[in-house]
Structure 1
């Protein structure tokens, strides 16, 4: 599968370096969240990489629920247990849980289907900021800390009507946000399609720490800086690949 350059195996455990995680975030997901920068003080592996690894390991179940319960730092050794259980935990060597998975229904291990779905979901997920989150924050008149933005990938749920196809893509549906004091939950809904046919649906849940009322000018400056970093990195990557 396409993930082999983004992790290693050490003593039977999955090991993800900061460099591998950052490359996945930027080059596969186009996600430029500063938490995924190699030198970030609070660096963490993207949840989308853990999700993709889980699909590679366990296949695509008809119903799946992922809870991201811990931030994976550089070089943490993860145990993806060999099991057919409906519920499983991905832990480190000390037993700390980072990812909880619940699954049921039919299972597809078709590598073409798993890769097409994983790639398209990750691309969808990586575009959440600024294109989806900023309009949601503006609509709810709330703001996160621009100096230390804390937007955490909390969980993801997906369900398929069937799995008898070889390619799947993700299409955004209407997102929602629930505000509760200094915290907000954003639910980023999506449809799962094969060709023009809808074959499933799901949503990604984000936990956001809030600071006050929405301020359009500071947010726009933050977005401009984010997009400049993203476009600069990707254009440089394009030059290097030619």
Structure 2
């Protein structure tokens, strides 16, 4: 599958270079979070890439939940299960866990269905900032630290009526932000459609830290900087 361009496989262990992980973030997920820049001090592999590799290696189940418990950096070799019947974890050779997965219901390893879900979800996920989160923060009159934005992808879940489909689209159904001091929890709830019929739903759960009172002009500068960074990347 196309994911082979964004990871290294050696004896069934999967690792990443900074370039591979950054290329996936920018070229596939349309994600320009500075945590995925190759020169970032706190560099991490995109959660969407770990999600996609889990589906590719372990298969797709009707119900799945993914919880991220550690930041994967370049050079860490991970072990992905060949199948998930209840719960499993993606760990390194030392047993450190980076992602836990729960699965139930019908399962499939059909490449067309899995690619359709990966593509639809990753495209949606790339719209999180600025399209969804900025409006959500404005509605709640808070914003992330403009000089050190911290938005962490904590978990996601999907609930499907069927795993038999060949094409899929995803639409945002609802977004909400819960506040606790300088910390916020954003839930992005989405519906999944195939052949014009809703066949499932899901939720992306994110943590926002270092929140402060919303300033439109400052947020406008942050968004413009993000847009300029993206434009410069594709113009290079």
| Fold similarity call, TM over 0.5 | yes
Kindly report which structure 2 residues correspond to 1:23-172, keeping only aligned pairs within 5 A, or say none.
23-172=23-172
Residue 203 of structure 1 aligns to a residue whose secondary structure is: strand
Alpha-carbon distance in structure 1 between the residues aligned to 2:162 and 2:81: 26
Equivalent pair of 1:185/1:207 in contact (CA under 8 Å): yes
* TM-score, L = length of structure 2: 0.97
State the Cα distance separating 1:154 from its structure 2 match.
0.2
Partner of 1:239: none
Alpha-carbon distance in structure 1 between the residues aligned to 2:76 and 2:188: 28
Alpha-carbon distance in structure 2 between the residues aligned to 1:47 and 1:58: 16
Residue 99 of structure 2 aligns to a residue whose secondary structure is: strand
Alpha-carbon distance in structure 2 between the residues aligned to 1:12 and 1:211: 41
Alpha-carbon distance in structure 1 between the residues aligned to 2:234 and 2:120: 18
1:190 aligns with 2:190: yes
Cα gap change, 1:87 to 1:113, in 2 (>3 Å): same
Alpha-carbon distance in structure 2 between the residues aligned to 1:84 and 1:60: 9
Partner of 1:5: 5
Q: Which has the higher mean CA deviation after the structures are superposed, 26-35 or 208-217? A: 208-217
State the Cα distance separating 1:235 from its structure 2 match.
4.0
Alpha-carbon distance in structure 2 between the residues aligned to 1:206 and 1:148: 16
Alpha-carbon distance in structure 2 between the residues aligned to 1:133 and 1:68: 20
Equivalent pair of 2:113/2:164 in contact (CA under 8 Å): no
Cα gap change, 1:111 to 1:83, in 2 (>3 Å): closer
Alpha-carbon distance in structure 2 between the residues aligned to 1:195 and 1:61: 20
Alpha-carbon distance in structure 2 between the residues aligned to 1:84 and 1:21: 24
Equivalent pair of 1:110/1:166 in contact (CA under 8 Å): no
Q: Which has the higher mean CA deviation after the structures are superposed, 5-14 or 37-46? A: 5-14
Structure 2 gap ranges (5+): none
Equivalent pair of 1:144/1:208 in contact (CA under 8 Å): yes
Residue 137 of structure 2 aligns to a residue whose secondary structure is: helix
State the Cα distance separating 1:212 from its structure 2 match.
1.6
CA RMSD between the two structures:
1.1
Structure 1 gap ranges (5+): 237-242
State the Cα distance separating 1:167 from its structure 2 match.
1.4
Equivalent pair of 2:77/2:93 in contact (CA under 8 Å): yes
Q: What CA deviation, in whole Å up to 9, does each residue of 1:189-212 have, x standing for no partner?
A: 111110211000001000000332
